[in-house]
Amino acid sequence: MAEIVSPSETDPALKEIARLRRFTGPPAEFWPAFIAAASALAGAERGLLILKAPGDAKDHSWKKMSEWTQNGRADRTVLTFNQQLIEVGQKTAQTGSLLLEIEQSAIPELKHYIASVKLVLNRPEDICIAVFLLLSKTEKQAQEALVRLQLTADTPVSYLANSSTNQAKAEVEKFAVSIDTMTLLNSEKKFLGAALSFCNAVATRYHCDRVSLGWLEGGYIRLKTISRTERFDKNMAAVKALEFTMEECLDQDDEIIFPSPEGSTFVSRDHEKFASQNASGNIASIPIRMEKEAVAVLTCERQERPFTASELQQLRLTCDQAARRLEDLRQQDCWIGKRLAQAAQVQFAKALGPEKTWIKVFAILGAIALGILFFGHFRYRVEGNFILKSDAMAYLTAPFDGYIKEVNVRPGDSVKTGALLLQINTEDLLLEEASAQADKVRYERESEKARATNGLAEMRIASALADQSNARLDMARHRIQQAGIRATFNGVMVEGDLRERIGAPVKQGDALFKMTKLEGIYVEAEINQRDIHQIAVNTPAEIAFVSQPKLKYQAQVERIYPAASAKENENIFIVRCKLIDKPDLWWRPGMSGLVKIDAGHRTLFWILTHRTVDFLRLWLWW
């Protein structure tokens, strides 16, 4: 009977299996290589690994880990192979190995088989099955292939054992490096000496061209030491650039590697810039933390190769172990005043630390509030309503009974002296004037006629009637002259919107308009009697109009009227205030707003409680 595969074909597969038993690389490289080597050793057309979740008995819990195929074809046999995977996995998990005939080939004595073995892993609860498709094999060839596959079943456990051993060795090496570094640090008594020894040890252990240590001072990183360099100029451009690079690591509080690995989330712009300017090649920056806060940064540079994840972990462990010793030495090197200040800062940090934070915050805020309440003095001002008034004000009345013919102004208009404000209808007066003129002429002629006839009595009567007609004529003309109401001075109309009363009658003496001068405007404030004793003459004040509350104007108390007046169930005093600021053009007498008059400085507690205290004093008084 022919062999499954020739020795020349199995030798590379055997060598690959032997190599995989000693393999120490990542699992993503081991499993594809293993399934390919096992398939080549068995002469399989296709091979794959299926894994079952621990403790799950359902069929759909099987997952495909890795797959290998010789030619990538997907014919009917491959479809049958894929359909049998779950059943094969279940049976193999129970028996350890399985050889299953699935189809007859074109040659009667050759058939297609599925061969599967349960792989040996380091945990018994993990179930991993290697399944292979054998095409055109005799039963003996298939059995021999299954035997070969069984011999390779322990390869994964060898790989896992080697990985665990190497990992444990790496962990031991990490601690050994940290212990060696701490031995050097403990032998130093000064901070700079310890920092230099620390940088030199890291540079030697990791084959770095340069290792630098920067410490946080005043919110910025300050470079302290450079490996194999006792002195350096802190003002050099390279030193400043290195400090910026360290601050990038400190701000993110995370390890930064340059060139950045694929999928990294940190920002490394300053590292990239520093590497391009100084030809650093590969850079690794590690924050040094004290009580979970970054206080320093260690930056390593080398040309030969990038920093690996294992080296980064070792550097992380070394920095964590060295942080406390370096911080203690740094504090000891300070002069006594600075040490006392740092000790006080630590105590305050404990007092304001995260333990019972809200109780401390509220206690501090309460103490501050009480201090402001009882000891803080604030300006106290008495409030009241005010209205603008003017000393120069005039009422324009109707000179006689008549009807309004024309109105030329409305409230708010500015007028000049002699401007026509309102015209009364004079048609009746003109008729009366004409009638009086005619009567005067008639009586004068009658008087002349009586004089010609020597009728003395008739002449005197006619003369008297002529004088009477002349008087009525003068009255009519006088009223015609008064029919036009004019402004008596330059000012502004305050009241009298008569545009809707054109044609309406007016009586003699009716007030038609109210006008005032803009000069001499003053503030008349109303102050409650409970606050009047707080203010005095010449006290500063401030006013704000209802129409323009955002604008404030300065004033000064000029007079306090001695008598109170009742208004809305309370007594008020009238306070006259003169304006300090020049009145704006839009000001008009009658405008109102709020006035605040200074009443000295008082504590906030008095301002908030004095009204209540006064009420209680009166209520409890007997």
Q: Of 303, 338, 373, which residue is a domain's last?
A: 338
Please report the pLDDT score of residue 1 as a whole number. 37
- In this prediction, residue 501 carries a pLDDT of 84
User: Tens digits of per-residue pLDDT, 181-208?
Assistant: 777 778 888 888 889 999 999 998 888 9
Structural domain range at position 481: 394-515
185 & 330 share domain: yes
Average pLDDT over residues 57-83: 76
- Whether 515 shows a pLDDT value over 50: the answer reads yes
Give the pLDDT score at 300: 94
* Mean pLDDT confidence for 103-125: 83
> Where is average pLDDT lowest: 159-163, 255-259, 545-549?
159-163
* Backbone phi, psi, residue 12, to 5°: -60, -35
Q: Count the neighbouring beta carbons within 10 Å of the beta carbon of residue 375.
A: 10
Question: What global pTM score does this model have?
Answer: 0.41
Instruction: Report d(CA 286, CA 363) in Å as an integer.
Output: 39
186 shares a domain with 138 = no
Cβ contact 386:573 at 8 Å: no
Looking at the DSSP bridge assignments, the partners of residue 605 are: none
Q: Determine how β-strand 570-579 pairs with β-strand 553-567.
A: antiparallel
Check whether residue 488 and residue 525 sit in a common domain.
Answer: no
What's residue 577's pLDDT?
93
Q: Say if residue 210 is in the same domain as residue 328.
A: yes
Q: To which H or E segment does residue 514 belong? A: strand 511-516
* pLDDT value of position 285: 94
Of 165 and 234, more confident = 234
pLDDT recorded at residue 226? 92
* Shared-domain flag, residues 120 and 260: no
The pLDDT, as a whole number, for residue 56 is 56
What is the mean predicted confidence (pLDDT) over 367-372?
90
Q: Are residues 214 and 307 in the same domain?
A: yes
At 556 the pLDDT is 92
Contact between 266 and 260 under an 8 Å Cβ cutoff? The reply is: yes
Tell me, what CATH number does 609's domain have? 2.40.30.170
Instruction: Report whether 63 contacts 50 (CB < 8 A).
Output: yes
Burial of 558 (0-12, 13-18, 19+ CB in 10 A): middle
pLDDT range class, residue 4, cuts 50, 70, 90: very low
Torsion of CA 234, 236, 241, 247, to 10 degrees: 10
Beta bridge partner(s), residue 521: 390
User: Are residues 282 and 256 part of one domain?
Assistant: yes
Which DSSP state fits 500? G
Residue 164 lies inside a defined structural domain of this protein: no
Do 496 and 536 have their domain in common? no
594 and 540 in a single domain? The answer is yes
Nearest to 470 by CA among 449, 451, 500, 447: 447
pLDDT tens per residue across span 287-333: 999 888 899 999 999 988 888 887 888 888 889 888 988 888 888 87
224 and 83 within one domain: no
Residue 74 has pLDDT above 70, yes or no: no
Domain harbouring 96, CATH code: 3.30.450.40
In the predicted model, what is the mean pLDDT of residues 266-287? 90
Q: What are the tens digits of pLDDT across the range 451-476?
A: 888 888 888 888 888 888 888 888 88
Least confident of 18-32, 46-60, 76-90, 599-613: 46-60
Cα–Cα distance, 101 to 114 (Å, whole number): 6
Q: Is the pLDDT of residue 247 over 90?
A: yes
389 part of a folded domain: no
Which residue, of 515, 533, 561, is where some domain finishes? Answer: 515
| Of 377, 270, 258, nearest in space to 307 by CA | 258
| Structure confidence by residue, pLDDT tens digits, 489-509 | 777 777 778 888 888 888 888
Q: Does the structure show a pLDDT above 50 at 2? A: no
Q: Is residue 571 part of a domain?
A: yes
Q: How would you class 605 by CB atoms within 10 Å of its CB: exposed for 0-12, middle for 13-18, buried for 19 or more?
A: middle
How many domains does one find in the chain?
A: 4
Alpha-carbon distance of 168 to 144, in angstroms, equals 38
CA distances to 201, 316, 322 from 180, rounded to whole Å, are 9, 15, 11
Nearest alpha carbon to residue 167 among 30, 34, 318, 310: 310
Tell me what pLDDT residue 289 has.
Answer: 92
Question: What pLDDT shows up at residue 594?
Answer: 94
Q: Whose CA is closest to 542, among 596, 477, 620?
A: 596
- Residues 443 and 469 sit within 8 Å (Cβ to Cβ): yes
Is the distance from CB of 541 to CB of 557 less than 8 angstroms? yes
Give the pLDDT score at 3.
42
> Model confidence over 400-424: pLDDT tens digits?
888 888 888 888 778 888 888 888 8
In terms of Cβ atoms closer than 10 Å to its own Cβ (0-12, 13-18, 19+), residue 279 is exposed
Task: Tell me how many degrees the CA angle 536-541-546 measures, rounded to the nearest 5.
Answer: 135
Pairing state of beta strands 521-528 and 505-506?
A: unpaired
Q: Which residue has the higher pLDDT, 263 or 600?
A: 600
Within-domain flag for 131: yes
Of 153, 185, 214, which residue is a domain's last?
A: 153
CB 88 within 8 A of CB 101: no
Question: What is the C-alpha separation between 170 and 311, in angstroms, rounded?
Answer: 10
Residue 538, domain member (yes or no): yes
Which of the two residues, 597 and 360, has the higher pLDDT score? 597
Q: What is the pLDDT of residue 587?
A: 81
Distance CA 85, CA 499 (A): 103
Q: How confident is the model at residue 520 (pLDDT cuts 50, 70, 90)?
A: confident
CATH number of the domain encompassing residue 444: 2.40.50.100
Taking the C-alpha atoms of residue 348 and residue 364, their distance in angstroms, rounded to an integer, is 13
Q: Do 127 and 84 belong to one domain?
A: yes
Within a domain: 558: yes
Mean pLDDT across the chain:
84
The better pLDDT of the pair 351, 366 is held by: 366
Please list, in sequence order, all residues whose beta carbon lies within 8 angstroms of the beta carbon of residue 270, skipping any fewer than 6 positions away: 244, 245, 247, 248
Residues 322 and 185 in one domain: yes
384, part of any domain: no
3-class state of residue 22 by DSSP: coil
**383 vs 27, residue with greater confidence:** 383
Residue 359 lies in a domain: no
**Coil, helix or strand at residue 345:** helix
Range ranked top by mean pLDDT from 81-85, 234-238, 556-560 = 556-560
